[in-house]
């Protein structure tokens, strides 16, 4: 009788130990994946900041040009201010959408600014503008890679949150799926930005 009781206690102890190890590993895996998403999102923001900084340097070049259409420039300055003022909570799909919308608005207003350069051949030949052309292409590529990396990190995290048995731990500790970075409507077509420098 005493031997049976000891075997039962050992079995219960082993089960509790196994559940504890599984719980710790599962929780640590969720926390690691969560931190990975945060780190990769930070890379996305860094690349958007680089683009905003490049836009600023072109804005300064344009402002120095006399007779330039101030309304077009003002729209870009306002869109840049809005895009850089939004704080994103990657756990809140609405704030991520607001950030994406602000970035799309900035890119759209900047595209209109670039299109208006046709009327200003002296502006298009400045070294600052030519340097911008080279740098913005690289920056847009970095942004694209950073968004893809973010979506991969979100996929890894979300799979940990929804797959059994981790979904039990995720529910217990409040881990929820994160939103993917989605393409803006109509962005399946490349923007038509022409620099046509002669």
**Quick one: pLDDT at residue 198?**
41
Q: How many domains does the chain have?
A: 1
Per-residue pLDDT for 3 more than 70? no
Q: Which of 96-100, 153-157, 163-167 has the highest mean pLDDT?
A: 153-157
Decide if 44 is inside a domain: yes
**Averaged pLDDT of the chain:** 80
Per-residue pLDDT for 155 more than 90? yes
Decide if 87 is inside a domain: yes
**Quick one: pLDDT at residue 146?**
93
CA dihedral in degrees (111, 114, 119, 121; nearest 10)? Answer: -160
Least confident range of 29-43, 144-158, 159-173, 183-197? 183-197
Query: Which residue's structure tokens are 């007779």?
Result: 67
Interval 106-124: pLDDT, tens? 888 888 777 777 666 666 6
Per-residue pLDDT for 125 more than 80? no
Half-sphere exposure (CA, 13 Å, Cβ side) for 183?
Answer: 8
**Quick one: pLDDT at residue 184?**
67
∠ at Cα 118 (140, 49), nearest 5°?
A: 25
- Label residue 183 left, alpha or beta by phi (over 0 means left) and psi (-120 to 50 means alpha): beta
Decide if 59 is inside a domain: yes
**Quick one: pLDDT at residue 80?**
83
Decide if 114 is inside a domain: yes
Q: Record the tokens describing residue 120, joined without a space.
A: 């200003």
What DSSP assignment string belongs to 74-97?
A: HHHHHHHHHHHHPPP-TT-HHHHH
**Quick one: pLDDT at residue 66?**
52
Decide if 197 is inside a domain: no
**Quick one: pLDDT at residue 162?**
93
Decide if 182 is inside a domain: no
Per-residue pLDDT for 156 more than 90? yes
**Quick one: pLDDT at residue 11?**
75
Residue 120 in 3-state DSSP? coil
- Give residue 128's domain range: 2-173
Enter the pTM of the model. Answer: 0.71
Q: Which of 74-78, 138-142, 179-183, 194-198 has the highest mean pLDDT?
A: 138-142
Backbone angles phi, psi at 187, to 5 degrees: -85, 10
CATH number at residue 68: 1.20.1440.20
């Amino acid at each position: 009788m005493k031997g049976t009781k000891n075997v039962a206690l050992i079995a219960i102890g082993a089960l509790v130990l196994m559940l504890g190890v599984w719980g710790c590993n599962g929780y640590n895996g969720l926390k690691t994946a969560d931190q990975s998403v945060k780190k990769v999102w930070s890379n996305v923001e860094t690349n958007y900041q680089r683009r905003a900084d490049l836009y600023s340097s072109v804005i300064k070049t344009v402002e120095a040009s006399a007779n330039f259409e101030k309304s077009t420039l003002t729209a870009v300055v306002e869109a840049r201010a809005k895009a850089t003022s939004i704080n994103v909570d990657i756990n809140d799909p609405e704030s991520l959408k607001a950030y994406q919308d602000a970035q799309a608005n900035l890119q759209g207003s900047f595209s209109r600014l670039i299109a208006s350069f046709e009327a200003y051949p002296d502006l298009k030949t400045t070294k600052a503008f030519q340097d911008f052309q080279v740098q913005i292409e690289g920056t847009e590529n970095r942004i694209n890679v950073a968004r893809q990396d973010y979506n991969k990190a979100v996929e890894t995290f979300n799979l940990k949150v929804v797959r059994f048995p981790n979904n039990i731990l995720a529910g217990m500790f409040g881990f929820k799926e994160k939103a993917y970075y989605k393409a803006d409507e109509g962005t399946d077509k490349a923007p038509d930005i022409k620099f046509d420098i002669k």
